[in-house]
Amino acid sequence: TIEFADLDKAMLLNFRNYLEESLATNTVHKIIKKFKTVLNDAIVKGLEVPLAYKDSDVQVSYVQQPKIYLNEDEINKIESVKLSPKSKLDKVRDRFLIGLHTGLRFSDFIRFDQSYVTDHEGRKIIRMRAKKTGGFVTIPLHKKVENILLKYEGLPPIISEQKFNAYIKELCEKAGIDTPISKVENNEQVIYPKWKLVSSHICRRSFATNGYKSKVDSVL
């Protein structure tokens, strides 16, 4: 059991060091920031909290990192990789392509199926309530997404986010998505092939960036 009174500087530095052993700098920054928010709220509510958490050497600065996305050529490479039909990577690729061509978050594109497709003024669209925000999104149905639905009779396979992130790295490596990307880790520059940095969020960033570069109207 930990009380507020236990949160002296030595304990906070130990906590920070513990986080830094296995987590990226910006992840530690996010955790410490949330931790500070809880303690600030406790003080507002009249609780006695040691102020060591405000010391500069307890803080972790945010490090600006490259925001990667997959361009159209790289997406075409992923589509062109030869895989056994309905194999593990083939199924993952199909879900990946749904994300890349819809811009949905993982929590939404992983549950997307034929039931979210409707007709609007003679055009097929995706109409879906976003799990994170609760709001509805309307997205034109891309032909490649429509073909994936046909392939699985409207119900593409489901996979956990952890496995999805691992398998799309493998897929992107096979596709030769290996542009060198520079990052900062523990105050040192580190170079990674691009496929190692791919995760589910790249779908959303790629959709938005490629749409912007193609001059797609952002107000639909």
Under DSSP, is residue 175 helix (H, G, I), strand (E, B) or coil?
coil
In single-letter form, the type of residue at position 35 comes to: F
Residues 153-192: b if buried by 16+ CB within 10 A, e if exposed: eeebeebeeeebbebbbebbbbbebeeebebeeeeeeeeb
pLDDT at 220 exceeding the cut of 60: no
Confidence band for 15, pLDDT divided at 50, 70 and 90: very high
In 10 A of CB 81, how many CB atoms? 15
Q: Residue 92: is its pLDDT beyond 60?
A: yes
With pLDDT > 70 as the criterion, what percentage of the chain qualifies?
98
Tens digit of pLDDT for each residue in 54-69? 999 999 988 888 889 9
